[in-house]
Structure 1
Amino acid sequence: MNQVGEAVVGDAIENLKNAVMEAVDSAGASLGTLWVNVGTPDLTQSSRVDTTADPQQAVSGVLSYVMWIGLAVGVIRLIIISVKLGLHLNPRD
């Protein structure tokens, strides 16, 4: 009877692990391809940037946004990889 219970619980845990790993893979792929759907900012006709100002300021503003977005994506991906690694190195296997 004990073996049947362990088999049922083991199968449920294995199914949960597979579902989480599939979700993590899907989320990683979505984050990795997000740049395809994001439009390119118009540096010449933006209402936030003065057109008489130095274009270097506009590029600097865009790069500051890119830096924070890249940092956020990197941290999220690092967390996802850590969870994936933790599930993969299950000591019950």
Structure 2
Amino acid sequence: MNVMSKTERPDPPKPTARKDAPVNKMFEGRAKAFLRDAMRQQGVSTEQLAERLADIGVEMSAGGVANKISRGGFSAVFLFQCLEVIDFKYEKTQF
């Protein structure tokens, strides 16, 4: 059995924030653009979106919704909640 001593073991990789990965930034930008485009197509403002989200139990101010969309790092659940309340029809090929 070959057992490495503590001095022979390589250091573990340094942790990095997953959110900072370039590929994540790219997809966050795409998610943000997709939601904004859906809102624009349906003629729904951020204020209206916040009101409609509240109707289904998602309590968030219009500013909070705007910030969440602006960051782009929102969950798939939030995206689908938004698409549902603005009555956006989508095809599977858009994903």
TM-score by length of 1: 0.32
Higher relative contact order, structure no. (Cα contacts within 8 Å, ≥ 6 residues apart) = 1
Which has more helix, going by share of residues?
1
